[in-house]
C-alpha cells in the first residue's frame, strides 16, 4: 500500500477517536505505521473474521469485496464499505468506494460517519441476513440433495446443454448476422439506386425544357 494511502487511513482513524478499529495489516511492526498509528487502532496480520462478524460490537466492515467476505457479511447482517480493487468484485456491495479515492481522507471520513450513523445501512443488512437465513431450502440441504441425486443416477446426458455441441457459426448466430448484414446492404443499395433514378429523371426533364 502506498504511503499516501496509509496516511489517509490514519487521518480517518484519528478523526474517529471514539471508534475502535481493527486493521488487518501485512506488517504490524512496520516503523512507518507504528510511529503514526493512533491508540484506537489495533494492528494484526490476522483476525478471526467470522468471530468478529458475530460480535454485536462490530458495526461496520471495510473489505475489498471478495466473494467469501461478502457472503460472511451478508449472513452476519453487517453493513460494509467495499473498496474495489477489481471491477468484478462489485457484487453485493452497498457502498462502493474506488481505491483511487483512498488518498482523499476527508471523503473517507464522511463516508464512514454516514455508514455508522445512518440506520438504513444496518436495516438493509439485517433484512438481507433474514432473507438468506430463511430460504425455503438452505444451501447445505440443496448441496446434499444434488449430491445424493448425482450418486444415485450418475451422469445424465439429458441434462447436458445442447449448446456445447454447436459449431462456431451456430453458437454465435453468424449465419443470421450475415443475412442481416446482407439485407441492410441490399436496402441501402436500393435506396441509393432509387435516389439516383429520380435525380436522372429530374435532370432529363430540365434538359428537354431547355
pLDDT digits (tens, 9 = 90+) for 162-197: 888 888 888 889 999 999 999 999 999 999 999 998
Q: Domain extents for the chain?
A: 48-133, 162-209
Listed as own residue / partner, the contacts of 117-125 with beta carbons closer than 8 Å and 24 or more positions apart are 121/79, 121/94, 121/95, 122/59, 122/77, 122/79, 124/79, 124/94, 125/73, 125/74, 125/77, 125/78, 125/79, 125/80, 125/94
Lowest mean pLDDT among 46-50, 71-75, 98-102, 124-128: 98-102
pLDDT digits (tens, 9 = 90+) for 110-149: 889 999 999 999 999 999 999 999 989 888 999 999 999 9
Q: Say whether domain 48-133 belongs to CATH 3.40.50.2000.
A: yes
Q: pLDDT at position 19, please? A: 93
pLDDT over 70, % of the chain: 90
Q: Is the pTM of this model over 0.75?
A: no
Q: pLDDT at position 21, please? A: 94
Amino acid at each position: 500500500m502506498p504511503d499516501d494511502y496509509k496516511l489517509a487511513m490514519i487521518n480517518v482513524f484519528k478523526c474517529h477517536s471514539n471508534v475502535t478499529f481493527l486493521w488487518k495489516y501485512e506488517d504490524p511492526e512496520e516503523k512507518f505505521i507504528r510511529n503514526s498509528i493512533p491508540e484506537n487502532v489495533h494492528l494484526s496480520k490476522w483476525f478471526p473474521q467470522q468471530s468478529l462478524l458475530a460480535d454485536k460490537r462490530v458495526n461496520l466492515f471495510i473489505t475489498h469485496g471478495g466473494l467469501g467476505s461478502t457472503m460472511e457479511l451478508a449472513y452476519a447482517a453487517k453493513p460494509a464499505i467495499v473498496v474495489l480493487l477489481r471491477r468484478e468484485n462489485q457484487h453485493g456491495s452497498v457502498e462502493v468506494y474506488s481505491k483511487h479515492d483512498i488518498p482523499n481522507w476527508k471523503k473517507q471520513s464522511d463516508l464512514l460517519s454516514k455508514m455508522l450513523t445512518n440506520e438504513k445501512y444496518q436495516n438493509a443488512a439485517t433484512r438481507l441476513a433474514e432473507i438468506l437465513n430463511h430460504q425455503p431450502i438452505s444451501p447445505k440441504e440443496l448441496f446434499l440433495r444434488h449430491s445424493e441425486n448425482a450418486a444415485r443416477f450418475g451422469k445424465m446426458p439429458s441434462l447436458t446443454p445442447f449448446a456445447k455441441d454447436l459449431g462456431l457459426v451456430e453458437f454465435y448466430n453468424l449465419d443470421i448476422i450475415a443475412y442481416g448484414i446482407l439485407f441492410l446492404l441490399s436496402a441501402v443499395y436500393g435506396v441509393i439506386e432509387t435516389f439516383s433514378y429520380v435525380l436522372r429523371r429530374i435532370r432529363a426533364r430540365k434538359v428537354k425544357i431547355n
